[in-house]
Amino acid sequence: MPACYESDYPVVFATEREAQREIADHQLIRIQQFLDGERDFDDAITTDEYVLPVSVWPDGSIATEWGRRYGKQE
């Protein structure tokens, strides 16, 4: 299930590198929150985010290479 939605649609990045940088940015924020005492260590270093190539359909929905399709979030 896509974790991020913008304007009710899944967020898609133009390149794999761009998606990886977004995940890294979120990870850095969590680590800084740990350093500031706002989050515990295990929570700060654990992520379940990953990059997956998708096809984008004209209606804004996306489909994985396995055929799973995600659309507008209700």
pLDDT digits (tens, 9 = 90+) for 9-57: 778 899 999 999 999 999 999 999 999 999 999 999 998 888 889 999 9
**What is the model's pLDDT at position 41?**
97
Q: For residue 13, count other CB atoms closer than 10 A to its CB.
A: 15
Count structural domains, the chain: 1
CB 28 within 8 A of CB 34: no
Expressed as residue numbers, the domain containing 25 is: 5-70
* pTM for the structure as a whole: 0.76
Please tell me the number of Cα atoms within 13 Å of 16 on its side-chain side. Answer: 4
